[in-house]
Amino acid sequence: MGEAIITRRGGPGGSGEVIVEFNNFMPSDVDPSDEELIHSTPTALSVARCDFAGASVGDYALFAGGYSNSFFNPVDTVDAYNASLIRSTPTPLSVARSALAWASVGDYALFAGGYIGSSGQSDTVDAYDVSLVRSTPATLSVTRAYFAGASVGDYALFAGGHDDNYNPMDTIDVYNASLVRSTPATLSVAKSGFAGASVGNYALFAGGYSGGRTYRDTVDAYNASLVRSTPTALSVARCDFAWASVGDYALFAGGWDGSYWDTVDAYNASLIRSTPVTLSVVRGYLAGASVGDYALFAGGEDYDSHWDTVDAYDAFLVRSTPTALSVARWYLAGASVGNYALFAGGEDYDGYGKDTVDAYGPPLPMARLYMPIGTKYKFGENEETATTNEITVLVPLTGYIKYKSGVVGT
């Protein structure tokens, strides 16, 4: 817990000071609600890009594919961040592509399908193991892009998407922990532009777009035996939204159906749906990632703006708004590694890909300290003067407070 030691110095008549020195001190009455997600900006991506995929495997968060300045010129680059946020560049994808899907199973992160420029869609699957060694398992049963992946039990599932003619699909490809492919029951509705999520013993595929301005609220759930069910639909039919998990919930946030939405739908491990408080900003094309006891939703766009906003939902589905992204952008990707949620790349308002990476670390406990205005204190590099009766600081504490001796009754 550390120590807090009172030392004295000063002259007669109570005109001196009482100095309270702190050495790695952790108060016993820290308010658990006073927490702050710590924001940092690690090394940028090796290539600026958007419309790509983020995945997690072992001690790495991977960001794969995308395009920089032209939808018709995708890249094959893969950037990997370890738990210390050090970046490396493993073997690139076997085929350059954007609008790909990802899912994890066993010791592998899989990147599947995608858009390969003027040649149309891809059926390629690249698998990266925990040592970042790449292999190429059996291809998807059909070429496709703008589809979704999710994991359940010993399976990674890839669902839906559209073909070269932008026709929506209901196909599901499944890879087991040995990367052997099978094709279970199809989605209940053919669609693209939706989200996949994992919660409890289920992989969920929610929302989407079926063409002709037909937006979907359908949710398909696959259990660990790959049996499909259809839980309660989304509260709003929409596409191009994000998902993240926290505690016993998978959350689907934001989206588009001709208008932008701030809606959040939460499904628990029993597939019961609730609708927590909405996002702080209406937006679509945002990204989700999880860290500690939080599900985070970052960036996105509406009709007039690209956003740097980050909304965080805790395990009780209470929303807070941590530090904003360092750059406003949409079409970014999220992934988690160790004690961090990372949001990488994206596109700015001028249509150019970004290389920026924002990291959100574990919430750190905060302590409230009370002192008279004008009191001197130091918990960083410089001594400061209290301008209010209360300051909030990260704990454990190292530093000091200088009280007027008469104030503290000495």
What pLDDT is recorded for position 196?
A: 98
Has residue 84 been placed in a domain? yes
| CATH number of the structural domain spanning residue 183 | 2.120.10.80
Has residue 306 been placed in a domain? no
Within 8 A by CB and 6+ apart from 355, the residues are 44, 45, 46, 47, 48, 49, 345
The answer on 65 and 21 residing in a single domain is no
Has residue 309 been placed in a domain? no
Domain of residue 386 covers 3-27+367-404
Has residue 305 been placed in a domain? no
What pLDDT is recorded for position 3?
A: 58
Pick the last residue of a domain from 282, 312, 338. Answer: 282
pLDDT tens digits along 63-114: 999 998 887 899 999 999 999 999 999 999 999 999 999 999 999 999 999 9
Confidence bin at 8 (pLDDT 50/70/90): low
* pLDDT (mean) for 178-203: 97
* pLDDT (mean) for 116-131: 95
Has residue 393 been placed in a domain? yes
What pLDDT is recorded for position 28?
A: 66
**CA–CA separation, 100 vs 113, rounded Å?**
5
Which residue carries 């968060």 as its tokens?
61
What pLDDT is recorded for position 396?
A: 79
Query: Domains in the chain: how many in total?
Result: 2
The three-class DSSP label of residue 133 is coil
| Count of other CB atoms within 10 angstroms of residue 314 | 17
The answer on 100 and 162 residing in a single domain is yes
Pick the last residue of a domain from 228, 255, 282. Answer: 282
Within 8 A by CB and 6+ apart from 137, the residues are 110, 125, 127, 175, 179, 180, 181
For 271-320, the DSSP string reads --EE--SPPSS--BS-EEEEETTEEEEE--B-SS-B---EEEEETT--EE
Cβ atoms 296, 334 nearer than 8 A: yes
For 144-175, the DSSP string reads BBS-EEEEETTEEEEE--B-TT--BB--EEEE
Tell me the pLDDT of the chain averaged across its residues: 91
The answer on 110 and 173 residing in a single domain is yes
**Range in 56-65, 117-126, 246-255, 259-268 the model is least confident about:** 117-126
Confidence bin at 389 (pLDDT 50/70/90): confident
pLDDT tens digits along 240-251: 999 999 999 999
Asked, as a colleague might, if the bond just before 184 is cis with ω within 30 of 0, I would say: no
Cβ atoms 374, 304 nearer than 8 A: no
This prediction's pTM: 0.83
> Residue 211: which of 230, 193, 233, 186 has the closest Cα?
193
The answer on 69 and 184 residing in a single domain is yes
